[in-house]
Amino acid sequence: NAGVTQTPKFQVLKTGQSMTLQCAQDMNHNSMYWYRQDPGMGLRLIYYSASEGTTDKGEVPNGYNVSRLNKREFSLRLESAAPSQTSVYFCASSEIARLDTQYFGPGTRLTVL
Amino acid sequence: AQSVAQPEDQVNVAEGNPLTVKCTYSVSGNPYLFWYVQYPNRGLQFLLKYITGDNLVKGSYGFEAEFNKSQTSFHLKKPSALVSDSALYFCAVRDLDNAGNMLTFGGGTRLMVKP
Protein backbone atom coordinates (compact mmCIF):
# COMPACT_ATOMS: atom_id res chain seq x y z
CA ASN A 1 0.00 0.00 0.00
CA ALA A 2 1.99 2.99 -1.32
CA GLY A 3 -0.61 5.67 -0.46
CA VAL A 4 -0.22 8.68 -2.75
CA THR A 5 2.61 8.64 -5.28
CA GLN A 6 3.83 11.46 -7.49
CA THR A 7 6.15 11.61 -10.49
CA PRO A 8 8.56 13.12 -11.16
CA LYS A 9 10.23 14.12 -7.88
CA PHE A 10 12.19 16.96 -9.47
CA GLN A 11 11.86 18.84 -12.76
CA VAL A 12 13.54 21.82 -14.36
CA LEU A 13 11.75 23.54 -17.24
CA LYS A 14 12.45 26.51 -19.44
CA THR A 15 9.87 29.24 -19.74
CA GLY A 16 7.21 28.22 -22.26
CA GLN A 17 7.76 24.49 -21.98
CA SER A 18 4.94 22.18 -21.00
CA MET A 19 4.81 19.22 -18.67
CA THR A 20 2.42 16.97 -16.82
CA LEU A 21 2.72 16.02 -13.17
CA GLN A 22 1.34 12.60 -12.39
CA CYS A 23 -0.42 11.48 -9.21
CA ALA A 24 -1.88 8.14 -8.23
CA GLN A 25 -3.47 6.82 -5.05
CA ASP A 26 -4.17 3.24 -4.03
CA MET A 27 -6.52 3.93 -1.10
CA ASN A 28 -9.71 3.83 -3.21
CA HIS A 29 -10.35 7.47 -2.35
CA ASN A 30 -13.00 9.40 -4.21
CA SER A 31 -11.48 12.88 -3.99
CA MET A 32 -8.10 14.14 -5.16
CA TYR A 33 -6.37 17.51 -4.96
CA TRP A 34 -3.43 19.47 -6.33
CA TYR A 35 -1.69 22.07 -4.15
CA ARG A 36 1.32 24.25 -4.55
CA GLN A 37 3.57 25.18 -1.63
CA ASP A 38 5.51 28.42 -1.59
CA PRO A 39 7.63 29.69 1.33
CA GLY A 40 5.56 31.44 3.99
CA MET A 41 2.30 30.89 2.11
CA GLY A 42 1.32 27.45 3.24
CA LEU A 43 -0.42 25.28 0.68
CA ARG A 44 -2.77 26.75 -1.89
CA LEU A 45 -5.31 24.64 -3.73
CA ILE A 46 -4.93 24.64 -7.51
CA TYR A 47 -7.63 22.19 -8.60
CA TYR A 48 -9.54 19.36 -7.05
CA SER A 49 -11.67 16.45 -8.15
CA ALA A 50 -14.45 15.59 -5.73
CA SER A 51 -15.20 12.35 -7.57
CA GLU A 52 -14.22 10.54 -10.73
CA GLY A 53 -15.39 12.53 -13.74
CA THR A 54 -15.49 15.92 -12.01
CA THR A 55 -12.91 18.66 -11.57
CA ASP A 56 -13.16 22.12 -10.03
CA LYS A 57 -10.95 25.16 -9.68
CA GLY A 58 -9.31 25.97 -6.41
CA GLU A 59 -7.71 29.16 -5.18
CA VAL A 60 -4.95 29.48 -7.83
CA PRO A 61 -5.98 27.67 -11.05
CA ASN A 62 -4.56 30.05 -13.65
CA GLY A 63 -1.92 28.48 -15.86
CA TYR A 64 -2.89 24.92 -14.97
CA ASN A 65 -5.18 22.19 -16.25
CA VAL A 66 -6.09 18.88 -14.70
CA SER A 67 -7.40 15.50 -15.77
CA ARG A 68 -9.02 12.90 -13.56
CA LEU A 69 -8.00 9.94 -15.66
CA ASN A 70 -9.78 7.37 -13.47
CA LYS A 71 -10.47 6.90 -9.79
CA ARG A 72 -6.78 6.34 -9.03
CA GLU A 73 -5.07 9.00 -11.13
CA PHE A 74 -5.19 12.79 -11.22
CA SER A 75 -2.73 14.71 -13.39
CA LEU A 76 -1.74 18.37 -13.42
CA ARG A 77 -0.59 20.00 -16.65
CA LEU A 78 1.35 23.18 -17.19
CA GLU A 79 0.79 24.18 -20.82
CA SER A 80 3.31 27.02 -20.96
CA ALA A 81 5.45 27.17 -17.85
CA ALA A 82 6.34 30.51 -16.27
CA PRO A 83 8.92 31.33 -13.57
CA SER A 84 6.01 32.17 -11.21
CA GLN A 85 5.12 28.48 -11.32
CA THR A 86 8.37 27.53 -9.63
CA SER A 87 7.11 25.75 -6.53
CA VAL A 88 6.68 22.43 -4.79
CA TYR A 89 3.54 20.64 -5.94
CA PHE A 90 1.64 18.22 -3.75
CA CYS A 91 -1.10 15.84 -4.66
CA ALA A 92 -3.51 14.66 -1.97
CA SER A 93 -6.51 12.38 -1.71
CA SER A 94 -9.40 11.84 0.68
CA GLU A 95 -12.25 9.42 0.92
CA ILE A 96 -14.77 12.17 0.28
CA ALA A 97 -14.36 15.83 -0.40
CA ARG A 98 -14.54 18.42 2.36
CA LEU A 99 -15.37 16.15 5.25
CA ASP A 100 -12.40 13.90 5.41
CA THR A 101 -8.71 13.85 6.21
CA GLN A 102 -6.45 14.42 3.22
CA TYR A 103 -3.40 12.25 2.62
CA PHE A 104 -0.47 13.75 0.77
CA GLY A 105 2.11 12.53 -1.71
CA PRO A 106 5.84 13.30 -1.38
CA GLY A 107 5.76 16.28 -3.72
CA THR A 108 7.32 17.42 -6.99
CA ARG A 109 9.87 20.22 -6.88
CA LEU A 110 9.52 22.24 -10.08
CA THR A 111 11.87 24.99 -11.21
CA VAL A 112 11.04 27.14 -14.22
CA LEU A 113 13.98 29.11 -15.62
CA ALA B 1 -14.26 33.97 3.79
CA GLN B 2 -12.24 31.60 5.91
CA SER B 3 -8.65 32.14 6.99
CA VAL B 4 -6.05 30.75 9.34
CA ALA B 5 -3.03 32.42 10.89
CA GLN B 6 0.10 30.96 12.40
CA PRO B 7 1.70 33.98 14.04
CA GLU B 8 5.14 32.46 14.61
CA ASP B 9 7.43 31.59 11.72
CA GLN B 10 9.63 29.58 14.06
CA VAL B 11 9.40 28.14 17.56
CA ASN B 12 12.51 27.07 19.43
CA VAL B 13 12.30 24.74 22.40
CA ALA B 14 14.72 22.58 24.34
CA GLU B 15 14.27 18.82 24.33
CA GLY B 16 12.14 17.69 27.24
CA ASN B 17 10.34 21.02 27.57
CA PRO B 18 6.69 21.52 26.66
CA LEU B 19 5.96 23.02 23.25
CA THR B 20 3.13 25.09 21.84
CA VAL B 21 2.58 26.01 18.20
CA LYS B 22 -0.10 28.65 17.82
CA CYS B 23 -2.99 28.78 15.34
CA THR B 24 -5.93 31.16 15.09
CA TYR B 25 -8.73 30.92 12.58
CA SER B 26 -11.61 32.87 11.13
CA VAL B 27 -14.79 31.32 9.76
CA SER B 28 -18.36 32.51 9.60
CA GLY B 29 -19.80 29.12 10.56
CA ASN B 30 -18.46 26.18 12.53
CA PRO B 31 -14.80 25.29 12.05
CA TYR B 32 -13.28 21.98 11.01
CA LEU B 33 -9.64 22.19 12.11
CA PHE B 34 -6.53 20.17 11.29
CA TRP B 35 -2.86 20.00 12.15
CA TYR B 36 -0.37 18.52 9.71
CA VAL B 37 3.41 18.02 10.02
CA GLN B 38 5.95 18.13 7.21
CA TYR B 39 9.39 16.60 7.57
CA PRO B 40 12.17 17.72 5.17
CA ASN B 41 11.55 16.71 1.56
CA ARG B 42 8.36 14.89 2.48
CA GLY B 43 4.65 15.43 2.01
CA LEU B 44 2.35 16.55 4.80
CA GLN B 45 1.33 14.00 7.40
CA PHE B 46 -1.93 14.19 9.32
CA LEU B 47 -1.53 14.76 13.08
CA LEU B 48 -5.02 15.44 14.41
CA LYS B 49 -8.35 17.10 13.70
CA TYR B 50 -11.27 18.73 15.49
CA ILE B 51 -14.83 18.77 14.22
CA THR B 52 -16.96 18.62 17.35
CA GLY B 53 -16.92 17.27 20.89
CA ASP B 54 -14.16 17.49 23.49
CA ASN B 55 -12.10 20.65 23.14
CA LEU B 56 -8.87 18.74 23.77
CA VAL B 57 -7.98 16.55 20.82
CA LYS B 58 -5.27 13.91 21.02
CA GLY B 59 -3.31 12.94 17.93
CA SER B 60 -0.28 11.11 16.64
CA TYR B 61 3.22 11.12 18.23
CA GLY B 62 1.95 12.46 21.58
CA PHE B 63 0.62 15.72 20.16
CA GLU B 64 -2.63 17.30 21.28
CA ALA B 65 -4.51 20.47 20.39
CA GLU B 66 -6.93 22.60 22.32
CA PHE B 67 -9.93 24.13 20.57
CA ASN B 68 -10.97 27.46 22.06
CA LYS B 69 -14.07 28.87 20.43
CA SER B 70 -14.06 32.21 22.25
CA GLN B 71 -10.46 32.90 21.23
CA THR B 72 -10.86 31.23 17.81
CA SER B 73 -7.68 29.29 18.44
CA PHE B 74 -6.48 25.75 17.94
CA HIS B 75 -2.98 25.59 19.44
CA LEU B 76 -0.86 22.47 19.05
CA LYS B 77 0.85 21.20 22.20
CA LYS B 78 3.12 18.47 23.43
CA PRO B 79 4.16 17.98 27.08
CA SER B 80 7.75 16.97 26.34
CA ALA B 81 9.47 17.83 23.05
CA LEU B 82 11.78 15.48 21.19
CA VAL B 83 14.54 16.44 18.76
CA SER B 84 12.71 14.31 16.20
CA ASP B 85 9.70 16.65 16.48
CA SER B 86 11.67 19.28 14.56
CA ALA B 87 9.65 19.90 11.41
CA LEU B 88 7.26 22.31 9.71
CA TYR B 89 3.75 22.38 11.16
CA PHE B 90 0.62 23.52 9.34
CA CYS B 91 -2.77 24.40 10.74
CA ALA B 92 -5.75 24.21 8.38
CA VAL B 93 -9.42 25.15 8.63
CA ARG B 94 -12.63 24.64 6.74
CA ASP B 95 -15.96 26.35 7.36
CA LEU B 96 -18.40 23.49 7.88
CA ASP B 97 -21.38 25.69 7.15
CA ASN B 98 -20.15 26.77 3.74
CA ALA B 99 -20.41 23.84 1.36
CA GLY B 100 -18.27 25.48 -1.29
CA ASN B 101 -15.18 25.86 0.86
CA MET B 102 -12.17 23.61 0.78
CA LEU B 103 -9.32 23.53 3.29
CA THR B 104 -7.34 26.73 3.91
CA PHE B 105 -3.82 26.28 5.25
CA GLY B 106 -1.77 28.59 7.40
CA GLY B 107 1.72 29.66 6.37
CA GLY B 108 3.40 27.10 8.58
CA THR B 109 5.55 27.23 11.72
CA ARG B 110 8.99 25.70 11.86
CA LEU B 111 9.60 23.90 15.14
CA MET B 112 13.22 23.52 16.20
CA VAL B 113 13.89 21.25 19.17
CA LYS B 114 17.44 21.48 20.47
CA PRO B 115 19.14 18.75 22.51
DSSP β-bridge partners for residue B25: B4
Nearest-CA distance A37 → chain B (Å) = 9
Q: What is the pLDDT of residue B99?
A: 66
Task: Give the residue from chain B lying closest to A6, CA to CA.
Answer: B43
* Segment B42-61 mean pLDDT: 92
Percent of chain B with pLDDT over 70: 98
pLDDT tens-place string over residues A57-98: 999 999 999 999 899 999 999 999 999 999 999 999 998 766
Which range among A43-52, A92-101, B6-15 has the greatest average pLDDT? B6-15
Contact B108 A48 (CB under 8 A): no
Do B42 and A107 make contact, defined as CB atoms within 8 angstroms?
A: yes
Q: How confident is the model at residue B75 (pLDDT cuts 50, 70, 90)?
A: very high
Report the share of chain A in percent with pLDDT over 90: 83
Contact (CB<8Å) B44/A104? yes
Gap between the Cα atoms of B89 and B70, Å rounded: 23
**Interatomic CA distance for residues B107 and A38, integer angstroms:** 9
